[in-house]
Amino acid sequence: MRKTLFILLFLYIYSLADATIFVYHRFGDDKHPSTNTSLTQLKNDFEYFRKNNYEVVPLSTLVKTIQDGKEVPTNWVVLTIDDAYKSFYTNGLEIFKEYGYPFTLFVYVKATDQKYGDFMTWDMLKEVLPYGEVELHSYSHPRLTNLTIEQIKADTQKSYEIFEKKMGYKPKFYAYPYGEYNDDVKEAIKDSGFEAILNQSSGATNKNSDLFDLFRVPLVGKVDIKEKLKYTAFDVEWIEPLEFPKDGILKKVRAKVNKDVDKVKLFITGEKWIEEVDVVDGMVDIDLNIYLKNSRTRIIIGTTYYNIANKILIK
């Protein structure tokens, strides 16, 4: 009985006060299935939120709550949309309006400014402002880890200046193109004065979350929204590795976690879960010798498959 109570208490502590940030791309656009969400799926998602008492809040509300050091309600959901594809304006927007759900739309500035046919125009972006937030997703949508710091800052500055001129206000939030970044990229973007930066790694958000590394759960194709809402935040301070190893071999994972945790699970892209990793006085320290097969590799630590934190390594 005592063991059961301890387990229940542990699960309560580590699943309390988490929000989920989701990311969409295209809507009702069957030509691009890898980034598309059907309108039926979108309505199913929204019906689930409504019927199960989830509150869809603006990203700015979540960010302000974390800035103020307040607990994040566990039923909060934030909806974000990357790239500003035209299919959001023509297909998705009416459904967001029907349910009264706010959103944050991240603009690929070059595509909009140069009037690429598949993307929203500046006038369209201004039209959606009464219903949601419009923010920044870079100028040229580059793979930021392939650029120098100077190139990252130049791309960000160019996007910022065009955005401010066209939209009439300064953007507050930024989403990494492709969800790819490293510590150097993060610092370069952070220096531009944003209040929050979002990645594209599955996980949840709580009051301890790094505002410049917010997790988002992708929603494309056919999804089980109930499963996607199971993620909870697991607080981790990453020590090693901090970048993709030069020889491609992951030799060790070291990280600080809550001292009350005695075991965690570990996952590395291309490998199976390591189910029982000991935690000693709040420290995960495991020797490995794994050749990283993917140039984009995730390391995941958690107490369950859903109570997790991610570290992304880009070659």
Structure tokens of 67?
């800035």
Share of the chain above pLDDT 90, in %: 85
- Based on C-alpha coordinates, what's the Rg of the chain? 20
Which parts of 78-148 fold into alpha helices (H)? Answer: 86-87, 93-99, 109-113, 122-128
- The stretch 276-288 carries a mean pLDDT of 95
- Per-residue pLDDT at 17: 66
Q: Which amino acid is at 159?
A: S
- Per-residue pLDDT at 315: 85
- Per-residue pLDDT at 10: 42
- The stretch 132-153 carries a mean pLDDT of 95
Share of the chain above pLDDT 70, in %: 95
- The contacts found for 259-265 with CB under 8 angstroms, 24 or more apart, are 260/10, 260/13, 261/303, 263/303, 264/301, 264/302, 264/303, 265/300, 265/301, 265/302, 265/303, 265/304, 265/305
- Per-residue pLDDT at 266: 96
Please provide the distance, in angstroms rounded to a whole number, between the alpha carbons at the two ends of the chain. 49
Q: What is the pLDDT of residues 181-233, one digit of tens each?
A: 888 999 999 999 999 999 988 899 999 999 999 999 999 888 899 999 999 99
- Per-residue pLDDT at 179: 86
Q: Which part of the chain is CATH 3.20.20.370? A: 2-233
303 pLDDT higher than 50? yes
9 pLDDT higher than 90? no
Q: What is the CATH number assigned to the segment(s) 237-314?
A: 2.60.40
Q: Which part of the chain is CATH 2.60.40? A: 237-314
**Rounded to an integer, what distance in angstroms lies between the CA atom of residue 267 and that of residue 272?**
6
Torsion, Cα of 203, 241, 142, 208 (10° steps): 40
- The stretch 150-165 carries a mean pLDDT of 97
**Rounded to an integer, what distance in angstroms lies between the CA atom of residue 168 and that of residue 128?**
14
Span of 3-17, 36-50, 117-131, 260-274 with lowest mean pLDDT: 3-17
Q: What is the CATH number assigned to the segment(s) 2-233?
A: 3.20.20.370
Phi, psi of 213, deg, nearest 5: -160, 55
Q: What is the pLDDT of residues 56-110, one digit of tens each?
A: 999 999 999 999 999 999 999 999 999 999 999 999 999 999 999 999 999 999 9
109 burial level (CB within 10 Å; 0-12, 13-18, 19+): buried
Q: What is the pLDDT of residues 203-217, one digit of tens each?
A: 999 999 999 999 999
* Other Cβ atoms closer than 10 A to 236: 20
